[in-house]
Structure formats: structure tokens, C-alpha cells
A and B are shown apart, each in its own frame.
Chain A
Amino acid sequence: MSAAQRTKGFSPEAQEAIEARALTGAWELRRLQRVLGELTRFDETNEAATRKARNIMIWCIVLGVVSLIVAFVSFDDGLMWVWLGPVVMTALAVLFGMKWRGLKKLDLIDDFRKCLMPALRDLAQDVDAGKRIRVRMDLAGPVERKQISHGNVDPGRYIQVKETVYEDPWGEVRLPLVDGSTATLEFKAWWTKRERKYRGRAGKIKYKTKWSKKYSATATLLPAVERSWDEEGLRSRTDGKREKAQLVQKEGVTGARLERHWVFKGVGGPPGDAPPAKEVVGMLLRLFGAMRGGSEVAR
């Protein structure tokens, strides 16, 4: 199934976002959720098609090698048609290899569907339906334009270690809430690719690629009017090893901000993990808990 077939029936906004691998603008909650749902469907089917193309390519390579051996064995018998097998298998491997590369270029990062969508679903009941949610999302993942460093690093016990770091501030969502306050969620990932060259036990030169993904999510709460904060209380509720809390002056009011860090790892390809939505919403819950007197609406 082609990319165009997979987006058939999608909204124009979703098709545009898939093509640009980005989503921006001011959205009504339900509309945003619908478009994110369409992007999820596309990404899941695209990932399945990518896996299928890669597997077929690998099978074609394996069968190509086997048929080449068979062709050599049968060569003395004068059977010329046996060369057809390796030729066809090589052509198919190239074809599916190209398809695999093409599909990989359409891939969207999983973070929006693993973290942001469930968080939005849980926060939906507090979002002001009459106002729009401002969104800026870059769904392309670790691509060349985000590269901030590339080069050899201290190899340690390996022959050579090449490290590439990508900085990816992929998402920012500004939620207008029913009590007039504004909650902002910002997501930033640092993807590190480490290509190692080393000597195996039998003395052969080997290569291995490992990925890690450092992550920060920042939740900021700006009340509608100036409010006081239980700063000590908020700090006592943060995990000092991976969280940082601070009060911020923004848009004429004192707000509070909580930043939390994660690290994910992957072998071969970039890790698809994302912060659990529950932990992200939990940051906003704690910020609301630190606002003295509770929310305007609750009072």
C-alpha cells in the first residue's frame, strides 16, 4: 500500500502534517485529537509496511545467496536457467531495499501518540472548549538538520567510537484551562548515536550501533491572575534526581514550572520510547496542588 493510499480519507490537515512531518497552529481540542488520531493510524501502518519491506528484502538476500550457490553447483551440468534465481532475487532485494528506505523517510516519531495523546485525553475535561490549543510539533525525529555534533570520541576499549548527537525540541502545547489559567507542556529530546568499531573474540573487525535518547518534559502553569505559591511544598514534592521546580515570571503573572528528565536506550535504531503520559500529567497535578487557594473555578 502506498503512502497516498494510507492517507486516503484523512483530513487535509492530517495529510499536510504527514507530508511536512510537523503539526502547528491553533486548534480546537476535538479537532486536534482527531488529527492526532489520523497521524497515529498513518504511523502505525507505515511502521508495519516498513518492517514488512525490510523482512522481504532480507529474505530476498538470503534466497539470492542460496540460489547463487545452487547455480555454481549446477553450472557444470550446463543448466543456464539456474542463474535466473540470483538475478531475480538481487533485483527484488534492491527493489524492497529502496521501498524500505522510502518508507523510513515517512516515519513519524512515536512520542506524540505514546505520550501527548493520552495526556490530552486525560486533560480534556479541564481544557476550555471555547479557546484554541496552540501546538508546535516536529515529528521528523533525528534528522540531519537537528544534528548538533558529530565526530570521534574517546574510544575506551574499542578501536573507534563515532558519536552523533541530535537536539530535538519536538513539541510544545499550550492549553487554555477552564479556570482561565494556561498550562504549557514542552518536550525536548537529545538523540545520541554511537557507532562502535571493535575487534571480536575471533579477531574479526565488528561494528555495532547503539542509540540513547535523553528526554526532558517541562510543565508550566500560569494562573489567570496573580496568585501565591507554596514553593517549599512544591520543591518537597519533586524528585531531586530527575526533577527541577522553579517559579517563573511570565505574561505579567507568577507561574510555576516543573521539569523532569528520562533516558531511553535502543540497539540498531533510535528508541521509540517516550515519557509515560501519567508522569507528564502528574507534573501538572503537582503544580496545581502548589497553587495556594486552589483554582478560580473550584472556589
Chain B
Amino acid sequence: MSCGYQMGLLILRPCGEPVAGQCGSCGVGLCAAHLGAGECPSCMVMRGERNENDLTREAGARKDYYESYGEGAHFGDPAYFNAADRAALRPGVAGFAMGADDDNDYDPFET
């Protein structure tokens, strides 16, 4: 048996190391590195413990990306990327105004 924890952000792949135990929440077989405190990093993130270690931070970042870019669909699913992509990209570019005229801003302290 090999560790079934899914690693990666762009390239999802199972860890593949020898199993040392099972995740107490989802039951997947885990290696010593991913077993941690008896749960896989993904389950720990689901419980809100995303700053426990590097693995939970990575799993937390992946959850954020996948949820904002794919409405929770699994990476690789045909439904993964959709109209939500564009919606998710918009909030960060509020200042976007290529070529816009910015002459009308009055500054009382200008010299």
C-alpha cells in the first residue's frame, strides 16, 4: 500500500510513499510525513487548522485556488474552469483603466 494523499497545485498526484497509517477523518492511507497528528493535511484544513505546518499551508493555498477558480469542482474535471474564472480574476484589478484620463483628480496639497 502506498500513501494516497494528493500532492501538488498544478500537478495533482498521489504521494506514493509506504503507508504508515490512515487519516482519522477521510480514511485514506497515509505515509509518516502526511499522517501528522492522525489526519491528512486536507482534512486538517477543512477543520480550519491551515497554519499547523508547511503541508497544511500548501493544502490551504490549493483549496483557495481551486474554490475561487473552479467553484469547488475537482481539478481536471471538465467543469473545473468556467465563467467563475473571469469573476474570480476581477476583484484584484479594481485599478485597471488602461488609457483612461486621470486629469480630474483635485489635490488641495499640490505644489
Interface residues, chain A, with chain B CB atoms under 8 Å away: 121-126, 156-157, 177-179, 183, 206-208, 210, 212, 214, 233, 237, 239, 242, 261-265, 267, 273, 275-276, 278-279, 281-282, 284-286, 288-289, 294-295, 297-298
Chain B residues with Cβ under 8 A from A289's Cβ?
75-76, 80-81
Nearest Cβ on chain A to B93's Cβ, whole angstroms: 6
Bound-state CA distance A296–B8 (Å) is 13
Give 8 A-B pairs besides A126-B8, A206-B110, A278-B92 with Cβ atoms closer than 8 angstroms.
Answer: A124-B58, A210-B102, A214-B98, A265-B95, A267-B107, A281-B9, A294-B76, A298-B8
A265 in contact with B89 (CB, 8 Å): no
6 A-B residue pairs with CB within 8 Å: A123-B10, A126-B9, A262-B95, A263-B98, A285-B81, A295-B13
**Set A233, A264, A282: member contacting B95, Cβ < 8 A:** A264
For the complex of A and B, list the 10 residue pairs with the smallest distance between their C-beta atoms, beginning with the closest: A276-B92, A297-B13, A295-B11, A126-B10, A289-B81, A288-B10, A237-B81, A237-B85, A263-B98, A179-B11
A122/B61 in contact, CB under 8 A: yes
Chain B, 3-44, CB within 8 A of any chain A CB: 7-13
List of B residues within 8 angstroms of A267 by Cβ: 107
Residues on A with beta carbons closer than 8 Å to the beta carbon of B75: 289
State A288–B62 Cα separation when bound (angstroms): 14
Q: Is the CB–CB distance between B102 and A265 below 8 Å?
A: yes
Nearest to B7 among chain A residues (CB) is: A125
Measured CA separation A218–B82 after assembly (Å): 21
From A207, A263, A288, give the contact of B11 (CB < 8 A). A288
- Say yes or no: is B88 at the interface (Cβ < 8 Å to chain A): yes
> A263–B101 Cα gap in the complex (Å)?
13
Contact A177 B96, beta carbon cutoff 8 Å: no
Closest Cβ neighbor of A275 among chain B residues = B92
Enumerate chain A residues within 8 angstroms of B110, measured Cβ to Cβ: 206, 208
Task: Tell me the number of A-to-B contacts counted with CB atoms below 8 Å.
Answer: 101
The number of chain B residues with a CB under 8 A from chain A is 33
Q: How far is the CA of A242 from the CA of B85 in the complex (A)?
A: 13
Q: Does B97 contact A (CB under 8 A)?
A: yes
The answer for the CA separation of A214 and B96 in the assembled complex, in Å, is: 10
For window 38-88 of chain B, which residues contact chain A by CB distance below 8 Å? 58, 61, 64-65, 68-69, 75-76, 80-82, 85-86, 88
Instruction: Name the distance in Å between A231's Cβ and chain B's nearest Cβ.
Output: 14
Contacts of B103 in A (CB 8 A): 156-157
- The answer to whether B81 touches A286, judged by C-beta atoms less than 8 angstroms apart, is yes
On whether the beta carbons of A263 and B97 are closer than 8 Å, the reply is yes
- A285 in contact with B93 (CB, 8 Å): no
Q: How long is the Cα–Cα vector from A273 to B111 in the complex, in angstroms?
A: 24
Q: Which of B61, B69, B96, B102 contacts A282 (CB 8 A)?
A: B69
Q: How far is the CB of A206 from chain B (nearest CB, A)?
A: 6
- Tell me whether A279 and B89 are in contact (CB under 8 A): yes
Task: Name A181's closest neighbour in chain B (CB-CB).
Answer: B11
Rounded to whole angstroms, the CA-CA distance of A262 and B82 in the bound complex is 22
Among A125, A178, A285, contact of B69 (Cβ-Cβ < 8 Å): A285
Question: Shortest Cβ distance from B12 into chain A, in angstroms?
Answer: 5
Contacts of B102 in A (CB 8 A): 210, 212, 265
